[in-house]
Structure 1
Amino acid sequence: MIIDSVHNAAKYYRLHPNFQKAFEYVNQTDIASLEAGVIEISEGLKLIVIHGDGSSREESIKGFECHDKNIDIQISIQGPETFAWKPREKCISPNGDYSDEKDVRFFHDKPDMFFELQEKQFAILYPEDVHAAMIGEGFLKKLVFKVKI
């Protein structure tokens, strides 16, 4: 997992070819005006724009998840937004089977930690990062880039 601000995004371009495309999209777009939905950016890179009310920690960790085929870049647009996190290697209690169609695997495990993103901060979450998001009070808006591994 990587946590940083959009201002420093160029430091991570070399980690995956689509990281640069994702952050360039952020820099070239009025992200505050994006409507909720899915935008196909390029081959192996899509954006999900999420708007909604934040939830409690207890409610959010019901969706404690990780992915096998994608890296998430989650960027806070309007927050703050809190995340739950635990390394996948420590998760021992699956919550159902892996969904290949949705590329998601859920766990019943409790998080090791919580962290908060302020506006224009991001988290890069790899397949080994089990996470739950949208924890907070009031209206939250975020970008989630799905980067194909």
Structure 2
Amino acid sequence: MIIDSLQNAAKYYALHPNFQKAFEYVSQTDIANLEEGAFEISEGLKLIVIQGEGNTREESIKGFECHDKNIDIQILIQGPETYAWKPRRKCVNPNGEYSDERDVRFFHDKPDMFFELQEKQFAILFPEDVHAAMIGEGFLKKLVFKVRIS
């Protein structure tokens, strides 16, 4: 997992070819006015704009998840937003089967920690990062880039 501010995004371009495309999209777009929904940006790079009222920690943890085929870049537009996190290697209580179609695996495990993003900060969540998001009070808006691993 990586947590940083948009002003430092270029430091991470070398980690994956689509990281640069994602962050350049953000710098060239009026992200505050993006409509909610899912958009194909390029081959292997999808954007999901999510907005809504924040959830309690207990409610959000019901969706404690990770992915096998994608890396998430989650960028906060309006918040703050709290995340739950635990390394996948420590998760031992699956919540159902892996969905190949949705690329999601859920767990009943309890998080090891919580962290908070402020506006214009991001988290890069790799397949080994089990996470739950949208924890907060009030209205939250964020971008989630799905970066195909291979």
Instruction: State whether TM-score is above 0.5.
Output: yes
Cα deviation digits, residues 53-88 of structure 1 (max 9, x gap): 000000000000000000000000000000000000
After TM superposition, give the deviation of residue 111 of structure 1 in Å: 0.1
Give the root-mean-square deviation of aligned CA atoms: 0.2
Counterpart of 1:102?
102
Aligned residues: 149
- Cα deviation 1:23-43 (Å, max 9, x = unaligned): 000000000000100010000
Post-superposition Cα deviations, 1:4-39, rounded to whole Å, max 9, x if no partner, equal 000000000000000000000000000000010001
State the one-letter code of the partner of 1:120.
K
Q: Which residue of 1 aligns with 2:63?
A: 63
Counterparts of 1:93 and 1:51, CA distance in 2 = 29
Tell me, in whole angstroms, the C-alpha distance in 2 between the residues paired with 1:110 and 1:35: 33
Q: Match for residue 88 of structure 1?
A: 88
Alignment match, 2:124: 124
Match of 2:73 in 1: 73
1:88-117 per-residue CA deviation (whole Å, 9 max, x = no partner) reads 000000000000000000000000000000
Which structure 1 segments of 5+ residues have no match? none
Structure 1: distance between partners of 2:35 and 2:60: 23
Query: Equivalent pairs: percent with the same residue?
Result: 86
Runs ≥4 in structure 1, deviation > 6 angstroms?
A: none
TM-score, with length taken from structure 2: 0.99
| Aligned-partner Cα distance in 2 for 1:80–1:2 | 17
Q: Is there any run of 5+ residues in structure 2 with no aligned partner, and where?
A: none
